[in-house]
Structure 1
Amino acid sequence: MTPVTFLLTNFAVASFVYLLVNNGHPHRLPPGPRPWPIVGNLPHLGPKPHQSLASLARSYGPLMHLRLGSVDVVVAASASVAAQFLKTNDANFVNRPPNSGAKYIAYNYQDLVFAPYGPRWRLLRKVSSLHLFSGKALDDFRHLRQEEVAVLVHALTSASNSLVNLGQLLNVCTTNALARVMLGKRVFGDGSGGVDPKADEFKDMVVEVMVLAGVFNLGDFVPALERFDLQGVATKMKNLHARFDSFLGNILEEHKMNSDGVKQQNDFLSKLISLKDDVDGEGGKLTDIEIKALLLNMFTAGTDTSSSTVEWGIAELIRHPKILAQAQQEIDSVVGRDRLVTELDLPNLPFLQAVVKETFRLHPSTPLSLPRMASQSCEINGYYIPKGSTLLVNVWAIARDPNVWAEPLEFRPDRFLPGGEKPNIDIKGNDFEVIPFGAGRRICAGMSLGLRMVQLLTATLVHAFDWGLPEGQIPEKLQMEEAYGLTLQRAVPLVLYPQPRLSSHVY
């Protein structure tokens, strides 16, 4: 049988199975658009699935059923529906569906993000929470984050007469801040503020992870086509994994060598190595692969998400000069102009916190939540959700719901202040109107760190600089187009002139 004949035969079989499965369903499924043969509703997703699904929800309602290939998919596009899945029925949706990203990039489900819910997942979560994300750990490493933000400020000041790519510099800062906590050293540059050429390559790798992980890979939904890798996604994932594995493997081996006969370091990786053969709890020992998988999670989920959110926030403030001036006035009144903002100042900056909340609302770093899977069939709002269904929560659409938010497309931080429409809302997974970190058992493990970093960076950039646009650009007309991936990138990088506004000795 020739390859072409084999492919056509598989298509024919897949079509027959598809028509057989979709020739009526004995239960009442949520509404949704009519699927195409074989590929189902995949063509409905378009280049920006979060936007396409939000548009479909306006026609079919906030709980939709799609058929992607042979896979049942349900989409939650309102706060009340999301709460049904992630709170009321959270225990039934704690696992991830099979997917190429977990298989080919995330060490075949041996990481924290994609590991099946159970003892191994609980072990990885416990180790990360205790040694990296606990209140004590965050406080212990506060000075490192502040030092890296000061390095960023110095780099921006040195470039005050020239245009800078803000997102690039933010990514270097967030990566080095995280690396110093995780590895005990910077991974880019020498701390002088210059951009290490390796930083561009690393950012490209992280962005490629997010882009590839955000692709709806045909092979994940039509198993008969998986082996053909028609979109080339699996091949790209394997190549990218090899690059990351080399990067992480070198770090791990270097750390092991340095730890022999040397006083134990206080970074996260040193703790993982020390725990490698002696981990308490039900999960047992950590393997080298699990350690590398954890590092992969932290470097991908903990760097670009924060830097891109801050980039969106600064872009919104530039588009709204009155809001920027109000934020600067608040920070000046609390901090003054003779020092930089510290994390200890953040609780005293309610308007700045509202700016950050509004940024997370309009520009969630993960517009479509990482998929979950129904372990058992269940009923949501009177509709049948089949066992094995994939759940997608449209975080982007929920936070722009006109039934919940007044002027939902407008950047209005005052909505989170006393007297505003949502003064007491929380963005840590308790209030489903805005859930940038997810909710339930699978909520983002690094939420507390991410929130601190975004607040500190936003406050510092607002306080320490005025921002000029390239000639010919008007603040109110600033480009705000989105580029879709697993994380929400700007289609056009934010390029600005930083103009120092504090006392000269601060810089």
Structure 2
Amino acid sequence: MESSHISSLRFWYLLIPLLFAFITQIFLKLLKQQISSKSKQTTSLLPPGPKPWPIVGNLPEMLANKPTSQWIHNIMSDLNTEIACIRLGNIHVIPITSPEIACELLTKQDLIFASRPRNWSSEHVSGGFLSKLLVPYGEQWKKMKKVMTNELLSPRRLQWLQHKRVEEANNIVRYIYNQCKNNNGGGLVDVRLTARHYSGNIVRRLVFNTRYFGEVREDGGPGFEEVEHIDAIFTCLRYLFAFSISDYVACLRELDLDGHKKNLKNATKLILKYHDPLIQDRVHQWRNGNRTHEEDLLDVLISLKDSNDNPLLTVNEIKSQIMDMMIATVDNPSNAFEWGLAEMLNQPETLRKATEELDSVVGKERQVQESDIPKLNYIKACAREAFRLHPVDDINPDHVSMEDTFVANKTYFIPKGSRVILRRQGIGQNPRIWEEPLKFKPERHLEMENNKDVGFKNLSLNEPSLKLISFSTGRRGCPGIMLGSTMTIMLFARMLHGFNWSVPPNETTIELSELEGYTMKAKPLMAYATPRLPAEVYHIV
């Protein structure tokens, strides 16, 4: 009897684990089927896009179709969609040309899409993710955003630095006037060079309290050092946000298969060649007590203290944040004015309206001042139209989704880790949103939807509804809206108020073609300028 009992116990000791293993196997199988079913369901809800290859996704097509931004545009056009999904390696890239979906991402779901990719290029330019613009969401980004918003770009700080901006507006007028004076009253002007160095002069003055890295130019124009500095910044911008294969395949991160790393390293090395000595010397001055009051934004960064009265920022953080400010400041104002003037030269009526507004608001006995800006609505409309039609780049910096989500009334699934890109030109030229989207028509911005009178009160360059992208919105929106707007409007206003512009001699129109694969004008704008104000007005500046 006892032997039978023992045998029974052994049977159950063996049977129970077997039953448990069997039940576990069935459970795991059912769970796997459920996950697989869910995966198929969510995959079917991804935005439309080309069918990816196993493992590599659509990387072969990306490599075979340069430039990548044009390839993305063609995909979306062929699919007739305003949101797409392109898998590069194991990363989903989601380009968007719908203002409504863009708004949903950057307002209702702003926190989910508040991060940036950990690209090699972003890490390199930001000194190891130390600044604000390129840093993934986290404590470092929060720290640097607070510094930018509260300490560098607050209304109080911008007011403090106003005289430096005025001096650079005066200087650019003097530079053009000298070119005219030295050529019997009229001169052929390289508008791209002029606009870029106006922007460069301002940011150098605000940050380093200097216009020149090298010798001062009597005519007010840039020297070799300033040209090299600005050219390096634009090279940096070109490769910083470019599509590099190593950004999508982790094992290729240390390689430079497309040459982007070499170009980016050379550009940042040139920029830092000018920045680092000034920063190191200034830090030394403050530490030695040879400098005790703030004159520019570099002083502000060095002087910031934490709760224990220790320096808030390391020297590397200061260097990284200054790099951020340089690459984020010079491109939009200069590109907008070059394209805007090119379009206006081909449409003399728009140029006439702009100068009439300036003469009405400012007159001809003085220069335009920042206090005139609220009344210059047609000038602002011209700038907005340039941002809409000719953004400096089609691709906005990536937003990375930090969790799975759905957009467009749960129509489309966006997986965690996806890189969402707002296509600036695609949104600005969206024919569903804009009538005659390829025509330069500033008046459209003065006829604002639902309330036409609003536009004539105080038009803004910012567009929170994202029908065009100037400064974006949300947590990752540009904190320098006031500075960027002021720089852009003053560049338009000073140049159009101070000079008559016409196409170069022996030409009838301005060619408006874009550089292949980019939104930049293919050829730098050359235009003929003559003074339109009394001589004494120029002598004052």
Q: TM-score, with normalisation over the residues of structure 1?
A: 0.88
SS in 2 for 1:392: strand
Deviation at residue 56 of structure 1 after TM alignment: 2.6
Q: Which amino acid aligns with 2:49?
A: G
2:121 counterpart of 1:101: yes
CA contact (8 A) 1:163 1:497 kept: yes
2:101 counterpart of 1:84: no
Partner residue of 1:35 out of 52, 66, 70? 52
SS in 2 for 1:330: helix
Deviation at residue 183 of structure 1 after TM alignment: 1.7
Deviation at residue 244 of structure 1 after TM alignment: 2.9
For 1:449, the equivalent position in structure 2 comes to 483
- C-alpha distance after superposition, 1:233-254 (max 9, x if no partner): 2233233333333332111112
CA contact (8 A) 2:232 2:268 kept: no
CA contact (8 A) 1:343 1:456 kept: yes
Partner residue of 2:195 out of 170, 188, 201? 170
For 1:3, the equivalent position in structure 2 comes to none
For 1:208, the equivalent position in structure 2 comes to 235
Please give the alpha-carbon distance, in whole angstroms, between the structure 2 residues aligned to 1:418 and 1:184.
41
Deviation at residue 474 of structure 1 after TM alignment: 1.9
- C-alpha distance after superposition, 1:422-451 (max 9, x if no partner): 845754252121122122100012222111
Please give the alpha-carbon distance, in whole angstroms, between the structure 2 residues aligned to 1:48 and 1:348.
41
2:514 counterpart of 1:481: yes
CA contact (8 A) 1:31 1:63 kept: yes
For 1:14, the equivalent position in structure 2 comes to none
Please give the alpha-carbon distance, in whole angstroms, between the structure 2 residues aligned to 1:285 and 1:497.
50
Partner residue of 2:414 out of 385, 410, 420? 385
SS in 1 for 2:501: strand
For 2:374, the equivalent position in structure 1 comes to 347
For 1:408, the equivalent position in structure 2 comes to 437
Q: Which amino acid aligns with 1:268?
A: L
Partner residue of 1:159 out of 169, 173, 179? 179
For 1:17, the equivalent position in structure 2 comes to none
Q: Which amino acid aligns with 1:56?
A: I
Deviation at residue 408 of structure 1 after TM alignment: 0.8
- C-alpha distance after superposition, 1:52-82 (max 9, x if no partner): 4334323331111101122111111111111
What does 1:150-299 align with in structure 2 at a 5 Å threshold?
150-160=170-180, 161=183, 162-188=187-213, 190=216, 192=218, 193-259=220-286, 260-275=289-304, 278-280=305-307, 285-299=312-326
Q: Which amino acid aligns with 2:172?
A: L
- C-alpha distance after superposition, 1:37-56 (max 9, x if no partner): 63615635844544443343
How many residues in Structure 1 have an aligned counterpart in Structure 2? 479
- C-alpha distance after superposition, 1:210-253 (max 9, x if no partner): 11113211111122333332112223323333333333211111
For 2:339, the equivalent position in structure 1 comes to 312
CA contact (8 A) 2:212 2:223 kept: no
For 1:5, the equivalent position in structure 2 comes to none
Q: Which shifted more, 320-329 or 106-115? A: 106-115
Deviation at residue 360 of structure 1 after TM alignment: 1.3
For 1:6, the equivalent position in structure 2 comes to none
For 1:417, the equivalent position in structure 2 comes to 446
Structure 1 residue runs without a partner (length 5+): 1-20
Q: Which shifted more, 237-246 or 95-104? A: 237-246
Please give the alpha-carbon distance, in whole angstroms, between the structure 2 residues aligned to 1:333 and 1:99.
50
For 1:439, the equivalent position in structure 2 comes to 473
Partner residue of 1:373 out of 400, 411, 423? 400
Deviation at residue 181 of structure 1 after TM alignment: 1.6
Structure 2 residue runs without a partner (length 5+): 1-35
Deviation at residue 167 of structure 1 after TM alignment: 1.4
For 1:497, the equivalent position in structure 2 comes to 528
Please give the alpha-carbon distance, in whole angstroms, between the structure 2 residues aligned to 1:125 and 1:386.
27
Please give the alpha-carbon distance, in whole angstroms, between the structure 2 residues aligned to 1:390 and 1:214.
12
Please give the alpha-carbon distance, in whole angstroms, between the structure 2 residues aligned to 1:127 and 1:494.
37
Q: Which shifted more, 123-132 or 458-467? A: 123-132
- CA gap of 1:44–1:120, structure 2 versus 1, over 3 A, is closer
Q: Which shifted more, 105-114 or 161-170? A: 161-170
- C-alpha distance after superposition, 1:472-496 (max 9, x if no partner): 3223x423324556xx432210112
- CA gap of 1:349–1:227, structure 2 versus 1, over 3 A, is closer
Partner residue of 2:130 out of 110, 120, 132? 110
Q: Which shifted more, 368-377 or 106-115? A: 106-115
Please give the alpha-carbon distance, in whole angstroms, between the structure 2 residues aligned to 1:249 and 1:419.
46
Deviation at residue 463 of structure 1 after TM alignment: 0.8
- CA gap of 1:496–1:280, structure 2 versus 1, over 3 A, is farther
Q: Which shifted more, 177-186 or 91-100? A: 177-186
Please give the alpha-carbon distance, in whole angstroms, between the structure 1 residues aligned to 2:102 and 2:237.
23
CA contact (8 A) 2:189 2:526 kept: yes
Q: Which amino acid aligns with 2:47?
A: P
For 2:495, the equivalent position in structure 1 comes to 461
CA RMSD of aligned residues (A): 2.4
For 2:89, the equivalent position in structure 1 comes to 69
Q: Which amino acid aligns with 2:427?
A: I
SS in 2 for 1:238: helix
Q: Which amino acid aligns with 2:157?
A: A
- CA gap of 1:396–1:35, structure 2 versus 1, over 3 A, is same
For 2:9, the equivalent position in structure 1 comes to none
Deviation at residue 279 of structure 1 after TM alignment: 2.6
CA contact (8 A) 2:192 2:525 kept: yes
For 1:428, the equivalent position in structure 2 comes to 462
CA contact (8 A) 2:50 2:58 kept: no
SS in 2 for 1:411: coil
Which structure: larger Rg? 2
Partner residue of 1:399 out of 428, 443, 452? 428
